[in-house]
Amino acid sequence: MRQLPDLHTLYLIARREFLTRLRSRFFVVGTVLLAVMMAGFIVLQSFLAGRPTTLDIGFAGDAQVLAAPLKQAAESKTLTIDNHDESSVAAGKDLVNTGKLDVLISGDPAAPDVYVKDDLSTTVELTLTGLVKQVALNRALVAAGANPADVAAQVANANVHVSYLDPNAAQQTARIVVGIFVAALLYVTLVVYGQIIAQGVVEEKQNRIVEILLSTVRPAQLLLGKVVGIGLLGMIQLMILGAVALLAASRTQVISLPDLGAWAVFSGILWFVLGFVFYALVYAAGGSLVSRQEDLQAVLTPITIVVVGTYLAFFWVIANPDNPIGIGLSMLPPFSAVLMPARMASGQAEAWQVGVAVVLSIAATFGMTRLAASIYTNSVLRVGSRVGWLEALGAAQDARWRGSAARVSPAPRP
Amino acid sequence: MTGAGLELRGLSKRFGKLQAVDDLSFDVRPGELFGFVGSNGAGKTTTMRMLLGTLVEDAGEVVWNGKPIDFEVRKRVGYMPEERGLYPKMRIGEQLEYLAQLHGATAQAAHDSVTRWLDRFGLGDRMRDEVQKLSHGNQQRVQLAAALAFEPVMLVLDEPFAGLDPEAVDSMSEVLRERAAAGTPVLFSSHQLELVERLCDRVGIIQHGRMIATGTVAELRRHGPERYWVDAPAATADWTKGLAGVELVRTQGSRYLVELTNGAGDQALLRAALQSGPVHEFRRDVPTLLDIFREAMTEARETTA
């Protein structure tokens, strides 16, 4: 490209791409649907995590002395217990069998029989075991001539002292959740908007308007205008979704780290810009190779596999934060577009790694701009059968720019 | 020779083994309607694409007003490709204004011009409709409006009349004549030879990428053979024998088509006919563009053979 793209032309093209799609039902409905799904997911998570459990526990015979201490001990473990007195073990068993009682406890408080249908809550079992041991201990203390209340008062002050050597570790889980979230959102947006770009390229090729456009606009202008217009739309959608996610998360307190969330959204958008331009160019070049929407998937599938693979690789990278392969991949385009922001959100990325990733990503995007413009220029006016990647690249090597003219191979005559 | 308007000098383009355009030269002057005629695959579309810059020529050059054509000029050329193309789901008015702006018009000028042309084509009330809702003929009108709505310095139209009904052909012809009269060079290709004959100031016939004849229809006729229809019912079948420079081309009942060669005079022919008896018809056979076209094609084929 000898001359810089004419900015006004670029603006006109980007504006058309942006407005046409902004007004489309696909965008409006899609954004609303995604936002509702995401908010719903977060609310559901918080509901599942904080759901109070209530158990109906029946006590028969001597075991009834366990009722009050069990209820009290369980309450500190977010478990609510409704106590019921049962007249007999047999009657209580019937209630357990019919599901009216969750647990029946009977017999000697130091060695009670516990009846459940098929499953005993771990919390109940552990709490009960503790209580039973206390009862046995108290009996042993009495037998040894000691007063259990005195002993209890003496041991009450025994305590452990905890020192947090790595206070950030407490945030680790929340951070990883945010990281996964960022990776998922970025990968979905890259794939969806990449496809939209490729479809836009094929649409212009399929309805032949590209011949009119290229008689007045340079191919690189058309390509960049598309990337900018559609990319802006993707960024706006990402911002809406990010804001909804932050709002839902802070309201439900799934993530109690608003700073972390806001930072994740910000770096997510930064990385969307870096990654999107790169992938959008690849998708656009891919789209220019075919003449019909039906042929598009075959060309795009390998690209999509790379993005999806990167997203899946993230789970391995995050589970092995010190593995040099994972760290290396997260700095290397095209993988960095998903891996680095996710690692940043997870708190695993060091500053120098982020820096390297950003620089490499920008460099790769510049390289891709030239490459994609060549492929696009060589293929976009060729109608008919699919153009091979290598064919388009081979032709690209001797592509000459002369004013507006793009070297293209013949379109087979109809 | 330099001058105003468009000039193509020795343009060539090869696709693999196919020499699509071969040392092609012609010019279109301001105010001129130039008809580009040739069979399918003769190289018309390839020539137009090189002119518009979507194809790079192997050799030769395109000259505008005496200087090699550049991007700024090409931007102002109104082009209607053979394969029509518009965004089917975009509104007509919006789409035409967008295209006009890409060609360099300001937003206001584009709006005014689009409104004017759509009114002219009777589509003023459909500006807000999507292109795909229009009939074929109306889509064609919108396509033409796309080539006109930015005050183009030149019009290049690839088969603008293809698929139009007679009424649409008339209104399209009128617009082209009008643009030419306003000083815009107009180049268009067509298979409809009688239309080209009626409409064009000059015609170029292209075959296998070579221009085999250019000129006004009258000029092309002058190059053709001088033939007469003679209706002489009383004449014997061999009445032309022995007349110097007269050759019988064919006979239709009592009508004879004869060709004069070597400067033989038509009056001598008439006298010879009258000697045989009554003459009901004596008429110069004016070749149509189709005749000229066929003749030129045959000649070119014989030369290459």
Confidence label for B111 from pLDDT (cuts 50, 70 and 90):
very high
Least confident of B20-34, B102-116, B156-170: B156-170
Measured in whole angstroms, how far is the alpha carbon of residue B238 from the centre of its chain?
A: 41
Annotate chain B with DSSP letters as a single string: ---SSEEEEEEEEEETTEEEEEEEEEEE-TT-EEEEEE-TTSSHHHHHHHHHTSS--SEEEEEETTEE--HHHHHTEEEE-SS----TTSBHHHHHHHHHHHTT--HHHHHHHHHHHHHHTT-GGGTTSBGGGS-HHHHHHHHHHHHHTT--SEEEEESTTTT--HHHHHHHHHHHHHHHHTT--EEEE-S-HHHHHHH-SEEEEEETTEEEEEE-HHHHHHHS-EEEEEE-TTS-TTTTTT-TTEEEEEEETTEEEEEE-TT--HHHHHHHHHHTS--SEEEE-PPPHHHHHHHHHHHHHHHH-
Residue B29 to residue B232: CA distance in whole angstroms: 47
Residue contact B54–A207, C-beta within 8 A: no
What six digits make up the tokens of A297? Answer: 């998937």
A408/B contact by beta carbon, under 8 A: yes
For chain A, domains (ranges, CATH) are 7-40+171-397 (no CATH), 53-150 (3.40.190.10)
Q: Do A215 and B54 touch (CB under 8 A)?
A: yes
Identical topology for domains B6-221 and B225-286:
no
Residue of B83, B96, B130 best to disrupt the A interface, most CBs of A under 10 A: B83
Measured CA to CA, the distance from residue A91 to residue A109 in angstroms comes to 19
* Cβ–Cβ gap B56/A409 under 8 Å: no
- Does the distance separating the beta carbons of B98 and A215 come in below 8 Å? no
Contact B85 A214 (CB under 8 A): no
- Between CA B259 and CA B154 the distance in angstroms is 42
Positive/negative CA dihedral, B96, B106, A6, B187: positive
Nearest residue in chain B measured CA to CA from A7: B102
CA distance A49 to chain B (A): 47
Query: For the segment B230-270, what is each residue's pLDDT rounded down to a tens digit?
Result: 998 888 878 888 788 888 888 888 899 888 887 778 888 88
Question: Is the Cβ of A301 closer than 8 Å to some Cβ of chain B?
Answer: no
Cβ-based contacts of B46 with chain A (< 8 Å): 410
pLDDT of residue A256: 55
- Burial readout B64-90 (b: 16 or more C-beta within 10 A, e: otherwise): beeeebebebbbbbbbbbbbbbbbbeb
Which residues does chain A have within 8 Å of residue B45's beta carbon, measured at their own beta carbons? 413
Mean residue pLDDT across chain B: 87
Q: Which of B56, B128, B148, B155 to mutate to test the interface with A (most CBs of A within 10 A)?
A: B56
pLDDT of residue A414: 38
Report the pLDDT value the prediction gives residue B154, as an integer from 0 to 100: 94
Q: Measured between CA atoms, how close is B131 to chain A, in angstroms?
A: 12
B87: nearest CB among A207, A405, A408: A207
Q: Indicate the residue of A208, A215, A403 with minimum beta-carbon distance to B84.
A: A208
* Of A9, A209, A211, Cβ closest to residue B54: A211
Q: Of 3.40.50, 3.30.420, 1.10.3470, 3.30.70, which CATH number belongs to B225-286?
A: 3.30.70
Give how far A32 is from chain B: nearest CA, Å.
23
Tell me how many residue pairs between chain A and chain B have CB atoms under 8 A apart: 85
Q: What is the pLDDT of residue B1?
A: 47
Residues of B in contact with A410 (CB under 8 A): 15-16, 18, 20, 46
State whether A404 and B74 contact (CB < 8 Å): yes
Of B13, B23, B18, B20, which Cα lies nearest the Cα of B211? B23
Contact B41 A413 (CB under 8 A): yes
- Asked whether residue B88 carries a pLDDT value surpassing 50, the answer given is yes
pLDDT digits (tens, 9 = 90+) for B44-79: 989 998 998 888 889 999 999 989 998 889 999 999
Does A209 reach chain B within 8 Å, measured CB to CB? yes
A211 touches chain B (CB under 8 A): yes
User: CA-based angle B112:B115:B117, to the nearest 5?
Assistant: 110
B75–A216 CB contact, under 8 Å = yes
Contacts with B74 from chain A: Cβ below 8 Å: 215-216, 403-404
Write out chain A residues lying below 8 Å of B104, CB-based. 216
Most A CBs within 10 A among B39, B47, B54, B56, hence the mutation to make, goes to: B54
Structure confidence at residue A396 (pLDDT): 46
Residue A214 to residue B54, Cβ atoms within 8 A: yes
pLDDT at A410: 43
Q: Which residue of A has its CA nearest to B15?
A: A410
- pLDDT greater at residue B196 or residue A261: B196
Instruction: Residue A408: list chain B partners with CB under 8 A.
Output: 54-56
> Per the CB < 8 Å rule, is B101 touching A12?
yes
pLDDT in single tens digits along all 414 residues of chain A: 344 457 889 999 999 999 988 888 888 888 888 888 888 877 777 676 655 567 888 888 888 888 888 888 777 666 777 788 888 888 888 888 888 888 888 888 888 888 888 878 777 888 888 888 888 888 888 888 888 888 888 887 777 777 766 656 656 677 777 777 778 888 888 888 899 999 999 988 888 888 889 888 888 889 999 999 999 998 888 888 888 877 777 776 655 555 666 776 777 778 888 888 999 999 999 998 888 888 888 889 988 898 888 888 888 888 888 888 888 988 988 888 888 888 887 777 888 998 999 999 999 999 998 888 888 888 887 766 777 777 777 654 433 333 333 334 444 443
pLDDT at A360: 94
CB-nearest to B56 from A12, A402, A410 is A402
Q: In this structure, how many other beta carbons lie within 10 angstroms of the beta carbon of residue A32?
A: 11
For residue B144, give the chain A residue with the closest CA: A212
Chain A: residue whose CA lies nearest to B94: A16
The β-bridge partners of B255 are: B231, B252
For residue B86, the chain A residues in CB contact (below 8 A) are 207, 209
Q: Is A55 helix (H, G, I), strand (E, B) or coil?
A: strand
pLDDT single digits (tens) B3-30? 788 999 999 998 888 888 999 999 999 9
What pLDDT is recorded for position A41? 78
Interface test with B, best of A16, A18, A209, A409 (most B CBs within 10 A): A209
Candidates 3.40.50.300, 3.50.50.60, 3.30.470.20, 3.30.420.140; correct CATH number of B6-221?
3.40.50.300
Minimum Cα–Cα distance from A405: chain B residue: B53
State how far residue B106 is from chain A, nearest Cα, in angstroms. 11
Assess whether pLDDT exceeds 70 at residue B304: no
Chain B interface residues (partner A, CB cutoff 8 A): 15-16, 18, 20, 40-41, 45-46, 52-56, 70-71, 74-75, 77, 79, 81, 83-90, 98-99, 101-104, 146
Domain residue ranges of chain B, discontinuous segments joined by +: 6-221, 225-286
Residues from chain B contacting residue A210 (CB–CB below 8 Å): 85
Q: CB–CB of B85 and A402 under 8 A?
A: no
Q: Determine, for residues A383 and B83 on separate chains, whether the beta-carbon distance falls below 8 Å.
A: yes
Q: Is A56 helix (H, G, I), strand (E, B) or coil?
A: strand
Mean pLDDT of B108-132: 92
The predicted pLDDT at position A411 comes to 43
Q: What pLDDT shows up at residue B185?
A: 94
The answer to whether residue A406 neighbours chain B at the CB level (below 8 Å) is yes
**By three-state DSSP, how is residue A79 classified?**
strand
A410 Cβ contact list (under 8 Å, min separation 6) = A382, B15, B16, B18, B20, B46
Which CA distances in Å does A263 have to A128, A289, A341? 45, 39, 10
